[in-house]
Amino acid sequence: MQSFILLVMIVSVFAGIAAGIPVMFVLLGIPILAGLAGTILGVFEPSFFNAIPIRIFGIMENQVLYSVPLFILMGKLLEHSGLAERALSAVTRLFNGGAKSLSIAVIAISVAIACTSGIVGATITMLGAVALPAMRNFQIQEKFSAGLIMASGSLGQILPPSIVLILLSDQISSAHVTNQLAAGNFSPEPVGVGHLFAGALLPGLCLAVFYTLYVILVLDEPKKKLPNRNTKKEQTRNDWFGLSAVLSLFLVPLSILLGFATTIEAAAIGVLVIGLMVFVSGKGNVLREVLLETTKLNGVIFGIIISASVFSLVLRGFEGDIIFQSLFSELPDGALWALISVMLIVFLLGFLIEFVEITYVVVPLTAPVLFALGVDPVWFAILMAVNLQISFLTPPMGISLFYYKSVSGIDTPNLYRSVIPYVAIQLLMLIAILIFPSLATWLPSVLI
């Protein structure tokens, strides 16, 4: 009976999500209903429910998560500042002002924005508004522009300091500590957000380089240059402002990776720097809207974190964790096949649900099993991060697809086709990290 209710609960969760009910309430409501049914039938210990408020207070006290609202604030300030437009124009002109330069500038600006929080929605909407008209002016294929903007805009989820990595580190570190304690190691080496930031840097930059190579190899160069609407003096001033904005964004991840600042300190400094730029560029009036938008996006993320925490609590109450652990431990050839299976599950789930749900539902179930089998936590985390990066582009639920469609009006078949080369590059990256774990683990071992 216990397994039956568990199965009904999991199937209902997927059905509820697919039916368009907000994910937060599906992950919160269905487990509570299942737990109540289990209590009535005598197969669920009701004292598990008493842990719900304590779990919520635990999330409120989790210092790893304190930086999330500040990174959202930074991203929103950048979105409303108009800095991206200036920076894009400046970087394009820095090369030769042609179609390939513009496309490479799109990647470069995405990498720079990724150095703040890398809010995918903000980046893609911004690039769609700023770069797409210029790309259309160069008569770059609509499909090509779409793929490039979406893939580049999603880089923020792998390049540090990304919200995906912060949330992953929260889950990975607790699974790692639990596993080490269970193995009898009472003073385990911590795996913190810094390890994940350092581990994700190389794969993230590799993806940016591969996208650039793809642009260079595939894009035809029309004999056109970016039009210059301003006087030379104004243009030079705009270009300097744009370039200095881009360079200052790199200070945020650098300060964390080089150990000058903690994640939350870097976030606060980033907010200050971008906030000052917003005021210098005369857009201080956007502050109220930015604060409200920050609050709403914060609510979306933490709503799912809270509800996923309730989901995993009830799952544990039905002994779902034990069932999953036994399933994974029965896989042939131990660690590698278990890891590949988890990656495959995450890849498939990525077609249907978002990264926060995957992070807070799948990682707590799978990470302890994989760590017990000897999988390196940083390696696993970076594989997860790249896999989650793919989920941003895979239809029908890739969040980047929605954002791009809303700004471009592109038809759905072309939208879906446009991401194929980039998903292929990301999959190759995932396989490369699987084969060569040092791509993820080398930099943390050197820097931290």
Partner 1 sequence: MAKLDAFINPLIRWAELLAKACVVLLFTSVFSSVVLRYLFSTGSTKLEDLQHYTFGSLLLLSVAIAFASGRHVKVEILQFEAHAVSKRGFLVLWLMLLVCLPMGFIVVLSIPEILHSWRTLDGSSELDGLGGLFLVKTFLPITGILIFLIAVGRAISPADREL
Output the six-digit token pair for 143.
């499909």
Residues 81-120 touching partner 1, rule: CB under 8 A, are none
The CA distance from 244 to 187, in Å, is 44
Q: Is 10 in the site for partner 1 (CB under 8 A)?
A: no
How many residues interact with partner 1 (rule CB under 8 A)? 60
The CA distance from 339 to 331, in Å, is 10
Q: Closest by alpha carbon to 239, among 90, 88, 81?
A: 90
Output the six-digit token pair for 298.
């914060």
Q: Closest by alpha carbon to 318, among 84, 44, 132?
A: 44
Cβ 373 vs Cβ 338: under 8 Å:
yes
Angle subtended at Cα 147 by Cα 411 and Cα 117, rounded to the nearest 5 degrees = 115
Residues 122-181 touching partner 1, rule: CB under 8 A, are none
Q: Is 323 in the site for partner 1 (CB under 8 A)?
A: no
Please count the helices (runs of H) and the strands (runs of E) in the chain: 22, 0
The least CB distance from residue 191 to partner 1, in Å, is 23
The least CB distance from residue 236 to partner 1, in Å, is 33
Specify the residue, 295 or 326, whose C-beta has the smaller distance to partner 1: 295
Specify the residue, 298 or 414, whose C-beta has the smaller distance to partner 1: 298
Q: Is 300 in the site for partner 1 (CB under 8 A)?
A: yes
Amino acid sitting at position 6 = L
Q: How many CB atoms lie within 10 A of CB 225?
A: 15
Q: Is 413 in the site for partner 1 (CB under 8 A)?
A: no
Residues 343-362 touching partner 1, rule: CB under 8 A, are 352-354
Cβ 113 vs Cβ 123: under 8 Å:
yes
Angstrom distances, CA of residue 447 to CA of 177, 196, 201, 389: 21, 11, 12, 24
Among 21, 41, 209, 348, binds partner 1 (CB under 8 A): 21
3-class secondary structure, 94: helix
Q: Is 29 in the site for partner 1 (CB under 8 A)?
A: yes
The least CB distance from residue 313 to partner 1, in Å, is 12
Q: Is 41 in the site for partner 1 (CB under 8 A)?
A: no
Among 38, 69, 421, 444, binds partner 1 (CB under 8 A): 69
Q: Is 11 in the site for partner 1 (CB under 8 A)?
A: no
Helices marked H in 162-262: 163-182, 193-218, 232-249, 251-257
The least CB distance from residue 304 to partner 1, in Å, is 7
Specify the residue, 79 or 142, whose C-beta has the smaller distance to partner 1: 79
The least CB distance from residue 276 to partner 1, in Å, is 12
Q: Is 397 in the site for partner 1 (CB under 8 A)?
A: yes
Among 97, 121, 265, 414, binds partner 1 (CB under 8 A): 265
Q: Is 415 in the site for partner 1 (CB under 8 A)?
A: no
The least CB distance from residue 371 to partner 1, in Å, is 28
Q: Is 66 in the site for partner 1 (CB under 8 A)?
A: yes
Q: How many CB atoms lie within 10 A of CB 215?
A: 21
Among 6, 17, 155, 365, binds partner 1 (CB under 8 A): 17
Q: CB-based burial of residue 209 (10 Å sphere; 0-12 exposed, 13-18 middle, 19+ buried)? A: exposed
Amino acid sitting at position 201 = L
The CA distance from 169 to 12, in Å, is 29
The least CB distance from residue 66 to partner 1, in Å, is 5
Question: From its phi and psi, is residue 319 left (phi > 0), alpha (psi between -120 and 50) or beta?
Answer: left
Q: Is 304 in the site for partner 1 (CB under 8 A)?
A: yes
Residues 242-261: x where in contact with partner 1 by CB under 8 A, - otherwise, as a string? -------------------x
Q: Is 33 in the site for partner 1 (CB under 8 A)?
A: yes
Among 37, 56, 64, 448, binds partner 1 (CB under 8 A): 56
The CA distance from 269 to 116, in Å, is 11
Q: Closest by alpha carbon to 434, among 386, 371, 369, 374?
A: 386
The CA distance from 384 to 90, in Å, is 35
The least CB distance from residue 215 to partner 1, in Å, is 31
The least CB distance from residue 367 to partner 1, in Å, is 23
The CA distance from 440 to 371, in Å, is 16
Q: Is 410 in the site for partner 1 (CB under 8 A)?
A: no
**Site residues (CB under 8 A) for partner 1?**
15-26, 28-30, 32-33, 49-50, 52-54, 56-57, 59-61, 63, 65-66, 69-70, 73, 261, 264-265, 267-269, 271-272, 288, 291-292, 294-300, 302-304, 306, 352-354, 396-397
